[in-house]
Amino acid sequence: MTVLLCGANPAVRLFDGDDVTAFASVWTVDWSVHGPGRAIVLWHDGRVRVLADDPTLGGWLERAFVRHFPEAAGLPWPEPTPERAEVTVDLDLRDGLSARAGDVAVTVSGALAVRTFETDAFPLDGVPHALRLVLAPAADASVTIGGTPVAGAVRREGGAERPSSSAFLTTAEVWSLAPDSS
């Protein structure tokens, strides 16, 4: 397998009823084929923003990964222009996530469970990828833009045995080309 990226990608989707009000994908990349760095990819109000300490890395994360995630399915996804911004990320499965870049802040808290996830068939733009990670669905999350909280709430499902949420924390995340696609 060809390893593409090692790091973490916690994310949140906020809902107002059945409508998605925001989707934020936060990246801490320890190693990748495009170097290390941090980024926030944000969809809100029909607009996509990529804020990254390295705009080239941020643009690759948005094009190669985020726009193909199930969380982005059905959202209008205009082509963004990556913005250079200092990105700070504090991530801990117990304490949650606090991330900031430019005028955007993302928080995720209240891990409901911690479990591993792995697949060799995660499709990104029609190409199967292998993904291994530690996942913690979360109880709460927020997205703030310019100091104003985005309306909406986390959607939680599943039972106590296997909770799921539209907000989650990750760590030990490794993306690779699946064995049959390299």
Percentage of the chain modeled with pLDDT above 90: 95
pLDDT digits (tens, 9 = 90+) for 67-84: 999 999 999 999 999 999
C-alpha 147/C-alpha 142 separation (Å) is: 12
Q: Where are the domains of the chain?
A: 3-181
Q: Check if the beta carbon of residue 14 is closer than 8 Å to that of residue 152.
A: yes
Spatial CB neighbours of 19, under 8 Å, sequence gap ≥ 6: none
Residue 89 has pLDDT above 90, yes or no: yes
- DSSP character at residue 64: H
pLDDT mean over 22-48: 98
The mean predicted confidence, pLDDT, of the chain is 96
Residue 140 has pLDDT above 80, yes or no: yes
DSSP strand pairing (127-145 vs 156-157): unpaired
DSSP strand pairing (19-32 vs 3-8): antiparallel
User: Which pLDDT score, from 0 to 100, does residue 115 have?
Assistant: 96
In terms of Cα–Cα distance, which of 111, 125, 113 is closest to 72?
Answer: 125
Residue identified by tokens 């199967």 is 128
When pLDDT is cut at 50, 70 and 90, the band that residue 181 belongs to is: low
Q: How far is CA 35 from CA 27, 113, 148, 170, in A?
A: 13, 31, 32, 20
Q: Which long-range contacts (CB under 8 A, 24 or more apart) does 148-156 make?
A: 150/14, 150/21, 150/22, 150/44, 151/14, 151/16, 151/21, 152/14, 152/15, 152/16, 152/20, 152/21, 152/22, 153/14, 153/15, 153/16, 154/12, 154/13, 154/14, 154/15, 155/13, 155/15, 156/112
